[in-house]
């Protein structure tokens, strides 16, 4: 995902605007002709490939104000030097070719010399404007710099934090909404400093995010983007020394009503039966109809494992056979890296946090054949879609959520009030965790006496997750609470066979 930058008051992606920050080519001399980069913004030659304003080897005005310029001595003349700016020429080779052609023409046919260069005097008004910009940086420039910081551009190694392209793209969209809000109110973004932000200006953003004439965001999206803006102003105050008050911190968080829903056994079974190549075709409406297939050979298997493991998409996709912990060749739990905790805290290698997924009867039935094959061959493989070995998250995460939504919509289920019953992929994790809470009865924190915050304290400091996973396996935890002893019988049989084999007794 390309980094988003701001130019002329609007946010653009760096892939489209890469020339704004491209490296500056130093001057080149060939057969008496010297070609340099001329900056129309600074009105100076960049002979050493260094921007006079930033003192670096790149410039954000490269695409809009930079042109090639050549110098040559007039052939057969009196030492006169000719300089010419080549507007519209983007390649150094083309600039050199034009300069050499002009030199050749001068030998036989004189061309009109440009007027002698006049040293430009900067008016007092422009000087004051430039000084004012330095003292009161523009909002668009600071937003651009903050995006660069979040993307770890020119950030010291010990201060860098990995951020996903999707996260950076979302922040960039948020900054674009911010600029659009001011633009719609007639603010001149080319001269809008950060210091102009106040309660009234924040009110403009507030209305734009919530009003139907604006973006009409939900409370959750509204709070998310307001938090982005608050973080940006905190950075301006702490790192840039711009302003003193974070006006976005005054914005109260809007309450979000969560209604977690689980999927019933009947609806889940119908969903799995619905997953066929024929039902996976979707034709999107619009100016140009597009045909798309949501069917994946591994989709049904992945949804079943998601229900039986309760893990998030990246965690489930990256589970391997070698992550399964077994006792006497009997799978007990799967050790899975907690993607959310590790990403938030930037935990690496030994710092990583793990969760332990109990191998229940339902989960064991799904992995049994592949796990037995793994025990025989000792060849590690992914539990889901082992044939996909590269860019798994990119290929599989969206396919899971979109595939679930596509096939579930086809079931045409109604809720208790007769409205279309809508569920997302996340309901599978909610179903697992709800069933687990019912199974464990949720009494742990009350019995321990830790009060309202007991669950957090116990999970962090006292409870051994591996032990909990083992207990849930032994107690035959089932997502749909079916009364059966199949898993117990399987575990007993496997252990008996193991003991018999070790003692060399024939049955």
Q: What is the pLDDT of residues 311-337, one digit of tens each?
A: 999 999 999 999 999 988 889 999 999
**Chain-centre distance for alpha carbon 309:** 25
Percent of the chain with pLDDT over 70: 75
* Domain annotation covers residue 92: yes
Question: What's the rounded mean pLDDT across residues 91-99?
Answer: 82
* Domain annotation covers residue 414: yes
Question: What's the rounded mean pLDDT across residues 247-267?
Answer: 88
| 448 phi and psi angles, rounded to 5 deg | -75, -20
Stretch among 212-221, 253-262, 382-391, 470-479 having the lowest mean pLDDT? 470-479
Identify the band that residue 371 occupies on the pLDDT scale cut at 50, 70 and 90: very high
Question: What's the rounded mean pLDDT across residues 361-369?
Answer: 93
Same-domain status, 214 and 78: no
Same-domain status, 358 and 494: yes
Same-domain status, 306 and 437: yes
Q: What is the pLDDT of residue 164?
A: 80
For residue 84, the cross-strand partners are 70
pLDDT of 483 strictly over 70: no
Task: Record the tokens describing residue 247, joined without a space.
Answer: 């006006």
Give me the chain's average pLDDT, please. Answer: 80
d(CA 124, CA 198): 30
CATH number, residue 470: 1.10.443
d(CA 422, CA 356): 30
Same-domain status, 468 and 348: yes
Same-domain status, 170 and 74: no
d(CA 35, CA 271): 67
Same-domain status, 223 and 364: no
Identify the band that residue 385 occupies on the pLDDT scale cut at 50, 70 and 90: very high
Last residue of a domain, one of 250, 279, 312: 250
Q: What is the pLDDT of residues 284-310, one digit of tens each?
A: 876 677 888 999 999 999 999 999 998
Q: Report the 10 Å Cβ neighbour count for 138.
A: 18
- What's the number of domains the chain is made of? 3
pLDDT of 225 strictly over 50: yes
Q: The pTM is what?
A: 0.59
Which domain range does residue 160 map to? 128-250
Q: What is the pLDDT of residues 10-69, one digit of tens each?
A: 444 444 434 444 556 666 666 678 888 888 777 777 777 777 666 777 777 777 778 888
Identify the band that residue 127 occupies on the pLDDT scale cut at 50, 70 and 90: low
d(CA 51, CA 42): 9
Question: What's the rounded mean pLDDT across residues 384-388?
Answer: 95
pLDDT of 453 strictly over 60: no
Last residue of a domain, one of 39, 73, 108: 108
Same-domain status, 147 and 100: no
d(CA 435, CA 299): 23
Same-domain status, 164 and 90: no
Q: What is the pLDDT of residue 13?
A: 42
Q: Which helix (H) or strand (E) element contains residue 72?
A: strand 66-73
Same-domain status, 273 and 168: no
* Domain annotation covers residue 259: no
Q: What is the pLDDT of residues 171-208, one digit of tens each?
A: 999 999 999 999 999 999 999 999 999 999 999 999 99
Same-domain status, 414 and 275: yes
pLDDT of 407 strictly over 50: yes
Same-domain status, 396 and 477: yes
- Round to the nearest angstrom and report the end-to-end CA distance of the chain: 61
Q: What is the pLDDT of residue 79?
A: 61
* Domain annotation covers residue 381: yes
* Domain annotation covers residue 24: yes
- Distance of CA 316 to CAs 234, 263, 312, 383, 404, Å? 36, 19, 6, 8, 15
* Domain annotation covers residue 114: no
Same-domain status, 194 and 322: no
Q: What is the DSSP letter of 325?
A: E
* Domain annotation covers residue 116: no
Question: What's the rounded mean pLDDT across residues 409-438?
Answer: 86
Residue 167 exposure: Cα atoms within 13 Å on the Cβ side: 9
* Domain annotation covers residue 48: yes
Stretch among 120-129, 380-389, 470-479 having the lowest mean pLDDT? 120-129
């Amino acid at each position: 995902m390309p980094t988003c930058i701001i130019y002329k008051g609007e946010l653009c992606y760096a892939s489209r605007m890469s020339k704004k920050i491209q490296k500056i080519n130093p001057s080149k001399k060939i057969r008496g002709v010297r070609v340099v980069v001329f900056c129309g913004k600074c009105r100076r030659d960049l002979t050493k490939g260094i921007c006079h304003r930033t003192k670096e080897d790149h410039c954000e005005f490269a695409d809009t104000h930079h042109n090639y310029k050549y110098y040559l001595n007039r052939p057969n003349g009196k030492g006169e030097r000719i300089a010419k700016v080549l507007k519209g020429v983007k390649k150094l080779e083309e600039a050199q070719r034009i300069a050499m052609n002009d030199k050749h023409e001068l030998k036989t046919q004189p061309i009109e010399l440009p007027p002698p260069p006049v040293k430009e005097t900067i008016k007092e008004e422009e000087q004051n404007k430039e000084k004012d910009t330095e003292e009161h940086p523009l909002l668009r420039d600071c937003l651009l710099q903050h995006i660069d910081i979040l993307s770890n551009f020119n950030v010291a190694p010990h201060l860098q934090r990995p951020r996903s392209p999707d996260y950076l793209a979302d922040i960039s969209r948020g900054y674009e909404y911010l600029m659009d809000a001011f633009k719609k109110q007639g603010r001149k973004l080319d001269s809008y400093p950060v210091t102009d932000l106040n309660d009234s200006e924040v009110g403009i953003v507030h209305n734009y995010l919530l009003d139907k004439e604006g973006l009409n965001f939900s409370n959750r999206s509204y709070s998310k983007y307001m938090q982005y803006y608050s973080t940006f102003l905190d950075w301006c105050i702490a790192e840039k020394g711009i302003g003193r008050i974070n006006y976005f911190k005054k914005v109260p968080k809007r309450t979000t009503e969560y209604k977690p829903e689980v999927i019933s056994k009947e609806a889940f079974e119908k969903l799995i039966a619905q997953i066929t190549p024929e039902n996976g075709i979707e034709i999107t409406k619009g100016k140009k109809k597009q045909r798309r297939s949501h069917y994946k050979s591994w989709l049904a298997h992945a949804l079943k494992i998601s229900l039986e493991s309760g893990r998030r998409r990246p965690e489930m996709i990256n589970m391997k056979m070698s992550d399964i912990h077994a006792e006497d060749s009997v799978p007990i739990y799967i050790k899975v890296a907690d993607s959310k905790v590790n990403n938030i805290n930037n935990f690496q290698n030994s710092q990583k946090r793990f969760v332990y997924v109990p191998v229940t009867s339902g989960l064991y039935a799904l992995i049994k054949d592949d796990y037995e094959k793994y025990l025989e061959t000792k060849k590690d493989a992914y539990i889901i879609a082992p044939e996909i070995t590269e860019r798994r998250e990119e290929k599989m995460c969206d396919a899971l959520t979109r595939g679930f939504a596509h096939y579930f919509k086809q079931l045409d289920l109604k809720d208790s009030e007769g409205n279309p019953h809508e569920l997302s992929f996340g309901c599978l994790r909610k179903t697992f965790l709800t069933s687990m809470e019912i199974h464990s009865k949720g009494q742990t924190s009350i019995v321990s006496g830790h009060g309202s915050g007991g669950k957090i304290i116990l999970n962090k400091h006292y409870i051994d997750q591996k032990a909990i996973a083992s207990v849930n396996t032994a107690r035959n935890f089932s997502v749909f609470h079916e009364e059966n002893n199949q898993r117990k019988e399987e575990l007993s049989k496997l252990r008996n066979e193991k003991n018999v084999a070790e003692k060399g007794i024939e049955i």
